[in-house]
Amino acid sequence: MIPIKDASGIARMREACAVAAYVLHELKKHVKPGVTTYDLDQLAKELISSRGARSACYGYQIGDRRFPAYTCLSVNEEVVHGIGSMKRVLRDGDIISLDIVVEYQGYIGDNAFTVAVGQIPPAVQKLLDVSQEALALGIAQARVGNRIGDISHAIQTHCEKNGFGVVRDLVGHGVGVEMHEEPQIPNFGRKGTGAKIRPGMTLAIEPMVNLGTHRTKCLADGWTIVTTDGAPAAHFEHTVLTREEGPEILTVPPSV
């Protein structure tokens, strides 16, 4: 069952998503050469608690393992779920995905953005541009009456048309009271398949796009997902509310 949020649920999703967007917006400003991913994680921790929220990543459990950091910080070939480390110093030419998930008064906001560190190669810039466009195209399909597969198809088509690999091993998801609710939202699939989109769904749509092969593997830390060919990967995400009038992005940065 895909949870449908009522007016009060939607109001609280808006608040949680506003906090998530605020933290992401602030964190982006601190990405520069010389900063460690540990520094960014600690900063995110402070930003989250300054708004009276809680990191939904920290302690997130799969089996008997718990995620040890407050955000997911994934550099270059790391696709998602990277763990901040004092040993990982950002350098000019890197890209880093900042994935912020916060719980605020019982509801969860989830968003991510991949930031360039200094000057990056044109091919990597294109990867970022295409991935961000793919997210916009996917969101545009989150219309009442469409199906989840329409989102998936739009994202996949745009990425593959540009020669990039779409990650298969992880998917977007419903988000609300839980970080991962139904439905699963793959970034690949056929039009007209999957669950029907109804008003009041809150969906975390998140293309994960690789410069090379779509294949990924998990590092020995049990969390970090990397590309098997070592080529860089991009990741963009918004939490989206499906309304009769059309999709609405809830994780809007504060300045917009």
Which residues contribute to the site for another protein (CB under 8 A)?
56-57, 60, 62-63, 67, 72, 80-81, 99, 101, 110, 169-173, 179-180, 184, 186, 206, 208, 225, 235
Q: Report the interhelical angle of 122-140 vs 148-161 (nearest 10°).
A: 160
- What's the length of the chain? 256
Contact 87, 104 (CB under 8 A): no
Q: How far is the CB of 160 from another protein (least distance, A)?
A: 19
Based on CB atoms, which residue is closest to another protein, 56 or 159? 56
* Amino acid, res. 115: V
Based on CB atoms, which residue is closest to another protein, 66 or 91? 66
Q: How far is the CB of 108 from another protein (least distance, A)?
A: 10
Q: How far is the CB of 171 from another protein (least distance, A)?
A: 5
Q: How far is the CB of 71 from another protein (least distance, A)?
A: 9
Q: How far is the CB of 121 from another protein (least distance, A)?
A: 25
Contact 189, 207 (CB under 8 A): no
Based on CB atoms, which residue is closest to another protein, 57 or 90? 57
Contact 104, 244 (CB under 8 A): no
Based on CB atoms, which residue is closest to another protein, 171 or 250? 171
Q: What strands lie across the sheet with 246-249, from one edge to the other?
A: 202-205, 238-243, 246-249
Based on CB atoms, which residue is closest to another protein, 60 or 107? 60
At a CB cut-off of 8 Å and minimum separation 6, what does 250 contact? 13, 14, 17, 18, 21, 109, 202, 238, 239, 240, 241
Based on CB atoms, which residue is closest to another protein, 119 or 202? 202
Q: How far is the CB of 141 from another protein (least distance, A)?
A: 19
Structure tokens at 185: 């939202």
CB-based burial, 175-189: b 16+ in 10 Å, e otherwise? bbeebbbebebbbbb
